[in-house]
């Protein structure tokens, strides 16, 4: 029961419904978000042009989390949406792919 309560508390913190009060919880949430970002970025980098559903299935992240991260990546200019011109009937899936210049972004972390 306690672990279920912690799970929902964590979900509410992630959604911004309740504020984070302890530094360790803040770090934990931040670390999880960073890991999710890395997972999604690696998935797109590895598979190229993919749908949000592909990313969700491939990473195990929820559709909501993937959508939120895609919005962040689009805003940051890391990815772009690609139109699907296939002759299929129905709503065409929106695919995303890394921008051509996104692969050249490098990060250097120096540990003490």
3-state secondary structure of 81: strand
Q: Which long-range contacts (CB under 8 A, 24 or more apart) does 17-20 make?
A: none
- Give the domain extent around 77: 2-101
- Domain assignment present for residue 55? The answer is yes
Residue 15: both structure tokens together: 């959604």
Cα–Cα dist 98/77, whole Å: 9
Q: Is the pLDDT of residue 1 over 70?
A: no
What's residue 91's pLDDT?
77
What's residue 27's pLDDT?
59
Handedness of CA 50, 52, 54, 58 (dihedral sign): positive
Q: How many CB atoms lie within 10 A of CB 37?
A: 15
Q: Is the pLDDT of residue 93 over 70?
A: yes
Q: How many CB atoms lie within 10 A of CB 70?
A: 19
96 and 79 Cβ atoms separated by less than 8 Å: yes
pLDDT tens column, 11-54: 665 666 555 565 556 657 778 888 898 899 889 989 989 999 99
Place of tokens 């195990």: 60
- Domain assignment present for residue 109? The answer is no
CA atoms within 13 A on the CB side of 52: 17
pTM of the model: 0.64
What's residue 13's pLDDT?
58
pLDDT tens column, 44-92: 989 989 999 999 999 999 999 999 999 999 988 889 988 777 777 777 7
Q: What is the CATH number of the domain that holds 54?
A: 1.10.10.10
């Amino acid at each position: 029961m306690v672990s279920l309560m912690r799970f929902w508390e964590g979900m509410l913190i992630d959604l911004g419904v309740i504020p984070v009060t302890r530094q360790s919880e803040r770090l934990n949430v931040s670390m999880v978000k960073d890991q999710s970002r890395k997972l999604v970025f690696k998935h797109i980098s590895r598979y190229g042009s993919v749908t949000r559903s592909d990313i969700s299935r491939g990473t195990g992240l929820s559709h909501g989390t993937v959508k939120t991260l895609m919005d962040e990546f689009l805003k940051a200019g890391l990815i772009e949406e690609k139109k699907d011109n296939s002759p299929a009937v129905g709503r065409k899936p929106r695919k995303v792919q890394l921008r051509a210049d996104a692969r050249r972004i490098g990060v250097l972390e120096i540990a003490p």
